[in-house]
Structure 1
């Protein structure tokens, strides 16, 4: 399904990569969910994808029908079920992710701060801005250098 660039998005980041089997199963569960996702008896134009075997991304084209509190609760329930089934954490907002070469690495907030102090993570390190809210932002502002992200407001790079 082609989604509008103004589609609303939700990003759930796993604290580890999904196996190929988990990835296939999660996509099936998410596709089944989005096919029947409704808000106030209106079918939502929704789609789901998984990027880097780690990020679950759901989109709703709100020009068709907007997600409601109850429909978002249903989404959260499905994500929690996947979280329990796969024994991963998908709701930890302090689970940080960055790119080390071509690999996506996740770590705790404390580990992230240590890596900044050690220079492993620097201004040019690609980080993931999971606070983006629209598909257009996902394509332009999700994978960005540390220096251009929200991260410097909370983390400082320490000079050696």
Structure 2
């Protein structure tokens, strides 16, 4: 199973809450996802008229596609429950919160799912602290081996 992670999201944000959403795909996007041709660069989620969308998620065109090719950076609708949407709506109105995609995967029913996280932006010194903490954990693991 293909699983694509957004590594920079954990570097840029404190992830406070995560949700799993369905994603509406068209054309050959599923085949590109299975091949791992996805880029999360500058992608984010936003709410519009009570629905969640993801913007700037780049799913490359499928090389063997013919007539039904897709636009690589089109906006895609995310499928969440109304309860989850209301909760996210309330949190994103607070200053500093944003919704970022964390990973794309296929569940046991072979449906494409996206994990999104409610994140609060890190400051520069927080990023340095995270790097320092990760390096010390790596050193400890090396020492214990």
TM-score (norm 1): 0.26
Larger RCO of the pair (alpha carbons < 8 Å, separation 6+): 2
The structure whose residues are more often helix, as a share, is 1
The structure whose residues are more often strand, as a share, is 2
TM-score (norm 2): 0.28
